[in-house]
Amino acid sequence: MIKNNITFDFDQRISRHATGSVKWDALGKVFGSEDILPLWIADMDFPSPEAVSTKLNERASHPIYGYNTQESSLYQSIIEWLKRRHGWEIEKDWILFAPGVVPSITLSILALSEPGDGIIIQPPVYPPFFDSIKDNNREVVENPLVFKDSLYEIDFEDLDKKLSNPKNKLLLLCSPHNPVGRVWREEELRKIYELCQKYKVDVLSDEIHSDLVFDGHKHTVFASLGTPICKQSVTFMAASKTFNVAGLNFSFIIVPCKRRRALIEGWMHRLHMNRNNLFGVLATEVAYQEGNAWLDALLSYLEENADVLVDFVKTRLIGVKVNKPEGTYLAWLDFRAYFTDAKELEHFLVHTAKVGLNSGGNFGIQGKGFARINLATQRSVLLEALTRIEKALKLKLSETTKHL
């Protein structure tokens, strides 16, 4: 693939075995079987941009890895990235650094709500959303997405009802949405904005997938919609998904409101969360400075993978359904024509098809009979996995007809 006269090869398979990869090296522990092709946890089987590995190798060659500072060039790279790729102008003071998006969400829940408060989420949704709420003695309030005209949509009537309850203090938004792959349109976000303003509910917006958006769709930063909501929102972002540096544990939180920022910083101090990973900092800075062409090429490859998946499912996995994701590198496979029990589907995928996907049941009860597949792999791996599922479904069908 050529972008800006540079060639990127996303087809080349690079073994990740024995690299300490959760996706490839923990199969026995996670799935109870080593003999499976993994397309589950959300990292990519592609090398990060060369500029990132060069920078990290350069720094690693100096053998002292003591405490590090955050240079102003890091802030600048984030500010410029957000302006260039998302048209969002932010101030340096709004940025807080953190060791990951999930810890940052948890921290913000602690800072901006009280035990017993309700926090609204939109399932099926990224499983740690449930845990960050429940583990901190807040209540999960569900505003389930609805499947309409072959698209997952927000149920605004129900959202209005949930937001109007004064017990519910925060809305935790997943934008773009994992696992359904929606890139929320500006008018959808505006409706959320108006309701949250009306009921004075703060929005925690997880935008970790914001750079991974396909042609014809545009990510709108929720906090960029207007000043009042900007003050009422906290945005979570990272270079981790975009440039495949999730193992470096570095992310940032953007909090325009001084009061809310002080509350979140207060919790950071309490938890002594004021140090950041040296390599995560370097990778983020260089990726934002030099990763544009690589990301554009990656997006083309991922979108082609999404097309391959949709075509394969339509023509060869009869009865299974999938929507082409608008963003993220995740797709949500609907196996309900064959399985309604989450455990049975899991068993079938691992032991008959021999593929490792994320079980839909972990994304909320709405995910029963679904599985999430990670498309950020070489096309040959994706096709191998789909072919394994095809063969397993044929076997299942032949066994069913035998028993008739």
Q: Among candidates 239, 218, 327, which has minimal Cα distance to 286? A: 239
Q: Which residue is nearest to ligand PLP (CB)?
A: 100
3-state secondary structure of 50: helix
Q: Which residue has the tokens 């003999």?
A: 35
Which residue shows structure tokens 């990656």? 298
Q: Whose Cβ is closer to ligand PLP: residue 173's or residue 389's?
A: 173
Min dist CB 82 to ligand PLP, Å, is 17
The CB-of-14 to ligand PLP minimum distance in angstroms stands at 21
Q: Is 167 exposed, middle or buried (0-12, 13-18, 19+ CB in 10 A)?
A: exposed
Question: Closest distance between ligand PLP and the C-beta of residue 42, in Å?
Answer: 3
Whichever of 48 and 251 has its CB closer to ligand PLP, that residue is 251
Instruction: Provide, rounded to whole angstroms, the least separation between the CB of residue 99 and ligand PLP.
Output: 8
Least Å distance between CB 374 and ligand PLP? Answer: 9
Q: Which is nearer to ligand PLP, 102 or 385 (CB)?
A: 102
Please identify, using beta-carbon distances, which residue of 138 and 209 lies nearer to ligand PLP: 209
Q: CB of 210: closest distance to ligand PLP in angstroms?
A: 10
Residues 6+ apart with CB under 8 A from 289: 51, 77, 80
Q: Which is nearer to ligand PLP, 112 or 121 (CB)?
A: 121
3-state secondary structure at position 120: strand
DSSP code of 49?
P
Cβ–Cβ < 8 Å for 169, 117: yes
Q: Could you tell me the CA-to-CA distances from 3 to 45, 190, 291, 292 in Å, in that order?
A: 20, 34, 12, 10
Q: Closer to ligand PLP by CB, 12 or 19: give it.
A: 19
Instruction: Work out how close the CB of 24 gets to ligand PLP at its nearest, in angstroms, rounded to a whole number.
Output: 16
User: How many residues does this entry show for the chain?
Assistant: 404
- What residue ranges bind ligand PLP (CB under 6 A)? 42, 100-102, 126, 174, 178, 206, 208, 238, 240, 246, 251
Q: Cis peptide leading into 103, omega within 30 of 0?
A: no
Give the Å distances, CA to CA, from 331 to 232, 234, 322: 31, 26, 7
Helices (H) and strands (E) in the chain, counts: 14, 16
Q: Which is nearer to ligand PLP, 90 or 102 (CB)?
A: 102
